[in-house]
Structure 1
Amino acid sequence: MKSKDKRQGLVLVHTGAGKGKSSSAFGMVFRAAGWGMKVCVIQFIKGQWQTGEQKAAQQFANIEWHALGDGFTWDTKNPEQDIKTSRGIWELCQAKIISDQFDLIVLDEINYCSSYQWISGQEIADFIQHHKPKGLHLVLTGRDAAPEVIAIANTVTEMSKIKHAFEQGIKAEQGIEF
């Protein structure tokens, strides 16, 4: 494995209306963990909803997982609380990034927080530019990534939806969506 001091840490953004943003990031989580890299996942929206990825990650000593947030915020009854929660999670993200303890950090669904204007895209971009350790890979997921974040990223992928099972009345399926 290439040491952190010889690695070019990348910033990757997975955005768009299609399925697969988090799934792609979690593929990277397990790929990096398989190489012995230290990984941290911080989820902004999932809350206490148990996912297969989180259960699988528990089998790896080198993956630290934080499923936080107040659940699906598009159904929010208390936007002030969602802002407060998101700001607190963002503080945790900043601490993990500057700790220089990780090879890969995934900020799952952070893009929603900037699109809801709970954390500005400029604030996220500025922090990454000024504080991300050189060898750290950083992945940001969620729809509507901020233009400022896209501008500083090395790789941006937009998932486009062509068709989705939900439109056919099929609810989230275990093993596929969670």
Structure 2
Amino acid sequence: MKVREKRHGLVLVHTGEGKGKSSSAFGMVFRAAGWGMKVCVIQFIKGQWQTGEQKAATRFDEIEWHALGDGFTWDTKNPEQDIKTSREIWEFAKQKIQSEQFDLVVLDEINYCCGYGWISGQEIADFVRQHKPGWLHLVLTGRNAAPEVIEVADTVTEMTRIKHAYQAGIKAEQGVEF
């Protein structure tokens, strides 16, 4: 494994309307763990919804996983609580990033929090510029990535939906979407 002092820590953003943003990030999680790198996943929206990736991560000592949040925000009954929870998760995420315990940190669905105006893109970009260790890889996922977040990133990928099974009435399938 490349020593931290020689590593260029990348900031990657996965955004867009298409599927695969989190899945791509989780592929990097398992790739990094395979190299013995310490990884932290922080999910901003998932709440208690169990996923196959989270279950698989328990098999790796290198992966620390935090499924936080209050669930899917488009069903929210209490936007003030969602804002409060997102802010608390952001503070937790900043602590994990600055702890220097991890080689890769994934902030899953944080871009949604920007899209809803709960955390500003400028705040995230400023934190990344000022406080992210130079060797740390950081991945931010979710639709509607803020322009400031895109600007601070080294690599930005936009997933484009061409066709999705949900449009044909097929619900999310275990092993494929969760």
TM-score bracket relative to the smaller structure: over 0.9
Gapped regions of structure 1 (runs ≥ 5): none
Please give the secondary structure, in 2, of the residue aligned with 1:40.
Answer: strand
Deviation by residue 1:113-156 (Cα, 9 ceiling, x = unmatched): 00100000000000000000010000000000000000010000
Q: State the one-letter code of the partner of 1:136.
A: L
Q: Measure, in 2, the Cα distance between the counterparts of 1:177 and 1:91.
A: 28
Deviation by residue 1:147-177 (Cα, 9 ceiling, x = unmatched): 0000010000000000000000000100011
Q: Measure, in 2, the Cα distance between the counterparts of 1:82 and 1:156.
A: 26
Please give the secondary structure, in 1, of the residue aligned with 2:145.
Answer: coil
TM-score normalised by length of structure 2:
1.00
TM-score normalised by length of structure 1:
1.00
**Count of paired positions:** 178
Could you tell me the percent identity over the aligned residues?
80
Question: Where in structure 2 are the equivalents of 1:128-147 lying within 5 Å?
Answer: 128-147=128-147
Gapped regions of structure 2 (runs ≥ 5): none
Please give the secondary structure, in 2, of the residue aligned with 1:59.
Answer: coil
Question: Where in structure 2 are the equivalents of 1:42-81 lying within 5 Å?
Answer: 42-81=42-81
Q: Measure, in 2, the Cα distance between the counterparts of 1:16 and 1:119.
A: 18
Q: Measure, in 2, the Cα distance between the counterparts of 1:34 and 1:135.
A: 18
Give the aligned CA root-mean-square deviation in angstroms: 0.3
Question: Where in structure 2 are the equivalents of 1:163-178 lying within 5 Å?
Answer: 163-178=163-178
Q: State the one-letter code of the partner of 1:88.
A: E
